Amino acid sequence: MQNQTLTIGSLQLTDPLILAPMAGITDLPYRLLHKRFGAALVTTEMISAKGWIQQGQKTLDLLKSRPEERPLAIQLFGEDPASLAEAAKLAVPYGELLDINMGCPVKKVVKGGAGSALLQDPGRIRNIIAAVRKATELPLTIKIRSGWDNASINFLEVGRIAEGEGADAITLHPRTRSQMFSGHSDWSHLAQLVKALKIPVIGSGDVFTAEDGMRMFAETGCAGIMIGRGGYGNPWLFRQLRQALSGQEPVATTLKERLQVALEHLQFSRQFLGERRAVLELRKHLCWYSRGLPGAGAFRASLQHLPDLSSLQQAITDYFASVEALENESEQAPR
Ligand SMILES: Cc1cc2nc3c(=O)[nH]c(=O)nc-3n(C[C@H](O)[C@H](O)[C@H](O)COP(=O)(O)O)c2cc1C
């Protein structure tokens, strides 16, 4: 039976279910919603260690938080051990766990030697973890991919380094940097890492349903799972995972709940992001909330022209009313 809790250093989580860090996605409104549906730990977007030290406004925006989302994991990226250690000290009042990004494949990040570029330099990984470990008592984790490319798969080596230098857990997204997001993540890498290490291994990759999540636990033995893209417009995935973990049948969401949550997302965005940014962010989230419903394509296209939050609110309310009417019609139609 899958363990129902997860302990990472001094942090005890109520469930082994974590919201993955996603740049451009896991802002405060998104995290608050996923927390409410059962994410035991939520994670910020990645934060530049150097940017933080220089007190950039962007960093301060990314660090906005609310008590109801805690515990919060702060994810840092960078390539310089001293800067990462300094940022780690700054992080103490902002979160309950510190994670270092060693998996980001994006050119802009990799070019500077950070993210998945670190996988090409295990010596640097060792220095980073040692420096950050010395700088903070916060629970410390790293998040990696399987390797840079197929010819240099080294997650076992990196995992052993992390454990040896005092990391409290490790998250593996078992794709290589070259793969970006193509194909499937290779969960057999997770199973190998679990066998090789004593610290908890968290699995990240291709969990889109509660069934996927239970399969990841069963096939890999991982101590926790992270949900990334599976949570897009689908925060109740966390509730379904909790139901599955406690032996219940996961319950599907309803049309009414979808609309209610979309409107709540809009409300949080209005409150925490300000009108202009909220409009830009919500266009994408409302598309996800409409996924799979009749007429979703036309609805999505219509969103791109709407200039403010009130019109987005009206559009999603009208659209869900039209879907509901369609559903009622088809229920009443003679068979
Ligand atoms: C849009 C997007 C942004 C991401 N940003 C980050 C990030 O900032 N830090 C990080 O460690 N991983 C990041 N990831 C990777 C995810 O955390 C996760 O490991 C990956 O998407 C695989 O999990 P999934 O299949 O559940 O999405 C990002 C992924 C996506 C799709």
Per-residue pLDDT at 225: 98
Per-residue pLDDT at 333: 75
> 184, 128 in Cβ contact below 8 A?
no
Mean per-residue pLDDT, 198-211: 98
pLDDT in tens, 167-189: 999 999 999 999 999 999 999 99
Per-residue pLDDT at 204: 98
| Ligand 1 lined by 105 (C-beta under 6 Å) | no
| Low-confidence winner among 58-62, 178-182, 211-215, 226-230 (lowest mean pLDDT) | 58-62
Per-residue pLDDT at 1: 63
Residue nearest to atom 10 of ligand 1 (CA): 21
Per-residue pLDDT at 335: 61
Q: Rounded to the nearest 10 degrees, what angle do helices 275-289 and 309-332 cross at?
A: 20
> 223, 202 in Cβ contact below 8 A?
yes
Per-residue pLDDT at 57: 79
Residue nearest to atom 9 of ligand 1 (CA): 21
Cα distances from 257 to residues 45, 110, 185, in angstroms, run 27, 40, 31
Which atom from ligand 1 is nearest to the alpha carbon of 231? Answer: 26
Per-residue pLDDT at 174: 98
CA angle 212, 218, 224 (to 5 degrees): 75
Per-residue pLDDT at 231: 98
Map out the domains of the chain with their CATH numbers: 6-245 (3.20.20.70), 255-329 (1.10.1200.80)
Q: Where are the beta strands (DSSP E) in the chain?
A: 6-8, 11-13, 17-19, 42-43, 47-48, 72-77, 97-102, 140-147, 169-176, 201-204, 224-227
Mean per-residue pLDDT, 100-114: 97
- CA–centroid distance for 79 within its chain: 22
Give the Å distance between the CA of 275 and the centre of ligand 1. Answer: 26
Structure confidence at residue 56 as a pLDDT band (50, 70, 90) = confident
Residue nearest to atom 18 of ligand 1 (CA): 228
Per-residue pLDDT at 330: 82
Between 83 and 331, where is the model more confident? Answer: 83
Q: Give the largest CA-CA distance in the chain.
A: 71
| Ligand 1 lined by 88 (C-beta under 6 Å) | no
Mean per-residue pLDDT, 110-118: 98
Per-residue pLDDT at 58: 82
Neighbours of 10 (CB within 10 A): 11
pLDDT in tens, 46-55: 999 999 999 8
Neighbours of 282 (CB within 10 A): 24
Per-residue pLDDT at 94: 96
Give the Å distance between the CA of 268 and the centre of ligand 1. Answer: 22
pLDDT in tens, 237-266: 999 999 999 999 999 999 999 999 999 999
Please say if 287 is a catalytic residue: no
For 84, left (φ over 0), alpha (ψ -120 to 50), or beta? alpha
- Of how many residues is the chain composed? 335
Mean per-residue pLDDT, 269-288: 95
Q: How are beta strands 11-13 and 224-227 bridged, if at all?
A: unpaired
- The residue from 20, 104, 202, 306 that is catalytic is 104
Give the Å distance between the CA of 105 and the centre of ligand 1. Answer: 10
Tokens of 318: 């009208």
| Ligand 1 lined by 20 (C-beta under 6 Å) | yes
Residue nearest to atom 3 of ligand 1 (CA): 22
In 3D, which of 264, 190, 186 has the Cα closest to residue 222? 190
Give the Å distance between the CA of 228 and the centre of ligand 1. Answer: 6
In 3D, which of 135, 143, 122, 59 has the Cα closest to residue 94? 59
What is the average pLDDT score of the chain? 96
Give the Å distance between the CA of 325 and the centre of ligand 1. Answer: 37
Which atom from ligand 1 is nearest to the alpha carbon of 25? Answer: 1
- Tell which one of 102, 108, 146, 173 to mutate to probe ligand 1, the residue whose CB is within 8 A of the most ligand atoms: 173
| Ligand 1 lined by 207 (C-beta under 6 Å) | yes
pLDDT in tens, 140-151: 999 999 999 999
Give the Å distance between the CA of 242 and the centre of ligand 1. Answer: 21
For the chain, helix (H) and strand (E) counts, in that order, are 14, 11
In 3D, which of 45, 51, 36, 39 has the Cα closest to residue 15? 39
Read off the pTM. 0.96
